[in-house]
Amino acid sequence: MTVPTGFSDDWDPMDRAFDPAPAAPKTGGIAARAMAARQVPDYLTGLNPEQKLAVETIEGPVLVLAGAGTGKTRVLTTRIAHILATGAARPSEILAVTFTNKAAREMKERISGFIGGNVEGMAWLGTFHSICVKILRRHAELVGLKSSFSILDTDDQIRLIKQIIQAEGIDDKRWTAKAFAGMMDGWKNRALTPDQVPEGEARAFANGQGRKIYEEYQDRLSVLNAADFGDLLLHVITLFKSQPDLLKDYQRRFRYMLVDEYQDTNIAQYLWLRLLAQGNPNVCCVGDDDQSIYGWRGAEVDNILRFEHDFKGATVIRLERNYRSTSHILAAASHLISHNEGRLGKTLFTDFHEDDHDLVSVTSAWDSEEEARSIGDEIEALQSNGHKLNDMAILVRASFQMREFEDRFITLGLNYRVIGGPRFYERMEIRDALAYFRCTVQPADDLAFERIVNTPKRGLGEATLKLVHELARSQRIPLMQAASQLCQTEELKPKPRNALKEVIGNFERWRAQLDSLSHTELAEIILDESGYTEMWRKDRSAEAPGRLDNLKELIRSMEEFESLAGFLEHISLVMDRDSADANDAVSIMTLHSAKGLEFDTVFLPGWEEGLFPHQRSLDESGRAGLEEERRLAYVGVTRAKKRAKIWFTSNRRVHGMWQSSIPSRFLDELPPDHVEIAEPSSNYGGYGGGGYGASRFDKADPFQSGSYATPGWQRAQKARQAMDGFSEGGGRGYQSARQKRQGPLTIEGELVAKSVSDSPSDYSLGERVFHIKFGYGAIKSIEGNKLTIDFEKAGVKKVIDSFVERH
């Protein structure tokens, strides 16, 4: 194999080691077996005609529209097996992209079933982000990073933005870092670099400072040698666009490309794919426009709707045979989703018809407590009929709904598990520990450094950190380095200085041990010597023991990695904790996290206007929002294999206030023939607003009149008008905020300008200078940027030049 230009010889060492040579298949290999058989290879048996077509059409662009439960993953994995078996490509020449690590993992497992465990050869099977990191590590310099760059999580990101907003003298209450992060996320999802952000949008933040903040943020990232999640894709796109030769190499390399959940791709991901697909057209995208539920985080349903247009000569294959649900469930789901416009259109069908299949049920409850009680009752009833709790799930629209169920199930002693709660890596102690590791591996990781300098408490308060920050800023060096310089002088009081010295010394020592000790040993040493474990051991709070356990768990989970750096990379990309619970338990989760799963019985509570469809979705995105909510409903219903049970309440507590609620419009969009109105299990349901009327669910349904005469819509319009008025007059508020901070900022600006131009120190011996703390003095000696000064009042001190002014 020829090594493509631009790649060093470390380019995929896996190639030779793991790829079966296509020309001479090994005995027992799948290709060999397939060839020997000279008939339909066994991996193709059991596929329906459409699935088979989707597997075998490997040349040219293919769009597989795979409805819920139509064997999507099977097609995807079999297709890969087919490409390998026919010798069309080697494992390392296939690019297979998923959205979640879970999906990637599942795919790997299933493929290993086909190709006998050698999935390691599938070097390019992974999430968009992990594949981008892989590419980026190789060519980091070309986008201004070092290959050791670290990946920021949302928390770091927000902290960084906040610093920038504050440094700009912008009111960080009015313009929150979180809001900006969301905005910037939107830009990155659309692959917009700071200069490409549309003027109007850039102006929408902090009265025209949006672009500037974005620019500064990116500058800071490159100084920090870090990238956020959006950058991973964005940098690779920049790379591909600016390095045609490099792009060609990748185009040549990826002979077959597969994308899972195509309806969830954003514009950046689409562009990324397009660049690669320019080289060869063997792109296969699998998805379902009806299951697009991530529009709010940048997914473009348009990508899938436009596929045929974007990839000329595309074959479109529809998978409509459903292997999951009963005909009633499918009919209900299909009828519901048919109310959406702008679909590619699929009609699911099944051969699964039996007389005793349950209809989709709709039940009313007085309030959420009764809802939880009656669902609990049903679960217990099913359980006593021999149904497993594992086969049941409660899917809610918003996570606050979960609590009511948890409360009820605790009272009943019913086992449950909540899917998608706070994740392992998000816990404070894990993040702290990781920050220690990050600082060891990457001394320039300022955000990590900041996080733990004073954790556990070392008496390094605001004042000390401010000095470190000032120095780091003026010299454009990492905090760690600034701190180290500061320690060599007498800028700091002895106590903080010694504390700081110790921290830095620790990190230096640990760094030196990186190669000599195993990374797990070192990790333990770090947590011990830093006093971090000690801190939790002394902590008498209820959570402390659990936190120590988590830390142990963290160390244990490091074992399967080769190095600390490798582990950190994994952790920043792979954020899921897969705690496979062996116990029988009902799952409680949001509709969003239910996508891709299936259960015999699915409970769908909270089908009320305002909650589902969610008011905010309607307010913010109007029609498109409503359609996405409807798709969410579709996803919910299609998770059910045998029983789908919908609930709505007449009263619900919203922000602590009781509000009467109206049944969801989605209920009226279900086909009456497949739905039964079930009696609530307890006897005081149906009182008040819960009665059934003309629209089967509610007589006084204002939503039936005009589609957007809804209260929410009107509220949305008012809000928008208010916004418009505000942003026009908002300039004044901004001005005053800016003026207020002008003073200190200018001083800072002078300081920065001075120290940069003066570096290395151009003070001369004997010069008279002023220090803000020590007063006037004369320079006695100079080493680099460190000055020894004889102060008139404070005596002889060693200080850094940027802290003094000429006098």
Partner DNA sequence: AGTAGTCGTATTTTT
Partner DNA sequence: TACGACTACT
Catalytic residues: 72-73, 260-261, 291, 639
Q: Is 102 annotated as a binding residue?
A: no
Q: Which is nearer to DNA, 248 or 577 (CB)?
A: 577
Q: Is residue 350 a contact residue for DNA (CB under 7 A)?
A: no
How far apart, in whole angstroms, are the C-alpha atoms of residue 552 and residue 559? Answer: 11
Which of 528, 534, 562, 576 contacts DNA by CB under 7 A? 576
Q: Which is nearer to DNA, 252 or 297 (CB)?
A: 297
Is 299:292 a contact under the CB 8 Å cutoff? yes
Alpha helices in 584-653 (DSSP H): 591-594, 615-638
> What residues numbered 191-250 form the site for DNA, per CB under 7 A?
229
Which of 51, 92, 130, 334 contacts DNA by CB under 7 A? 130
For DNA, which stretch binds (CB under 7 A), given 87-95, 303-311, 456-464, 768-776? 456-464
**Residue 326 CB contacts under 8 Å (≥ 6 apart), including other chains:** 350, 352, 353, 354, 357, 358, 641, 642
Q: Which of 246, 318, 280 shows the shortest CA–CA distance to 70? A: 318
156 φ/ψ angles, rounded to the nearest 5 degrees: -60, -45
φ/ψ bin of 360: left (φ > 0), alpha (ψ from -120 to 50), beta (otherwise): beta
For DNA, which stretch binds (CB under 7 A), given 117-125, 442-450, 455-463, 683-691? 455-463
**3-class DSSP state for residue 511?**
helix
The alpha-carbon radius of gyration of the chain (Å, integer) is 30
Q: Is residue 460 a contact residue for DNA (CB under 7 A)?
A: yes
Burial class (CB in 10 A: 0-12, 13-18, 19+), 13: exposed
> What residues numbered 625-644 form the site for DNA, per CB under 7 A?
625, 629
Q: Is residue 501 a contact residue for DNA (CB under 7 A)?
A: no
Contact track, DNA, 99-118, x by CB under 7 A: xxxx----------------
Degrees (nearest 5) of the Cα angle 379, 385, 391? 55
Q: Is 68 annotated as a binding residue?
A: yes
Counting residues that bind DNA (by CB under 7 A) gives: 40
Q: Is residue 573 a contact residue for DNA (CB under 7 A)?
A: yes
For DNA, which stretch binds (CB under 7 A), given 315-323, 386-394, 615-623, 779-787? 615-623
Q: Which is nearer to DNA, 296 or 684 (CB)?
A: 296
Q: Is 73 annotated as a binding residue?
A: yes
Q: Which of 68, 67, 64 shows the shortest CA–CA distance to 77? A: 64
Is 559:520 a contact under the CB 8 Å cutoff? yes
The string of DSSP letters for 185-243 reads HHHHHTT--GGGS-HHHHHTTTTTTHHHHHHHHHHHHHHHTEE-HHHHHHHHHHHHHH-
Which of 154, 196, 714, 721 contacts DNA by CB under 7 A? 154
Q: Is 69 annotated as a binding residue?
A: yes
DSSP state of 427: S
Q: Is residue 696 a contact residue for DNA (CB under 7 A)?
A: no
Rounded to a whole number of angstroms, the minimum distance from the CB of residue 283 to DNA is 21
Q: Which is nearer to DNA, 632 or 769 (CB)?
A: 632
3-state helix, strand, coil in the chain (%, to 5): 50, 15, 35
Q: Is residue 726 a contact residue for DNA (CB under 7 A)?
A: no
Q: Is residue 457 a contact residue for DNA (CB under 7 A)?
A: yes
Which of 113, 244, 342, 461 contacts DNA by CB under 7 A? 461
Q: Is 71 annotated as a binding residue?
A: yes
Q: Is residue 398 a contact residue for DNA (CB under 7 A)?
A: yes
Q: Is residue 455 a contact residue for DNA (CB under 7 A)?
A: no
Q: Is residue 575 a contact residue for DNA (CB under 7 A)?
A: yes
Partner residues linked to 788 by β-bridges: 781, 798
The string of DSSP letters for 286-313 reads EE-GGG---GGGT--HHHHHTHHHHSTT
Which of 346, 438, 592, 639 contacts DNA by CB under 7 A? 592
Q: Is residue 557 a contact residue for DNA (CB under 7 A)?
A: no
Q: Is 420 annotated as a binding residue?
A: no
**Residue written as tokens 């996080």?**
451
- How far from 570 is each of 110, 425, 560, 576, CA to CA, in Å? 21, 11, 11, 11
Q: Which is nearer to DNA, 175 or 647 (CB)?
A: 175
Query: Per the annotation, where are the binding residues for ATP?
Result: 66-73
Which residues does the annotation place in the binding site?
66-73
Residues forming contacts to DNA in the complex (CB under 7 A) are 99-102, 127-130, 153-154, 229, 296-297, 397-400, 420, 454, 457, 459-462, 573-576, 589-590, 592-593, 614, 616-617, 620, 625, 629, 655-656
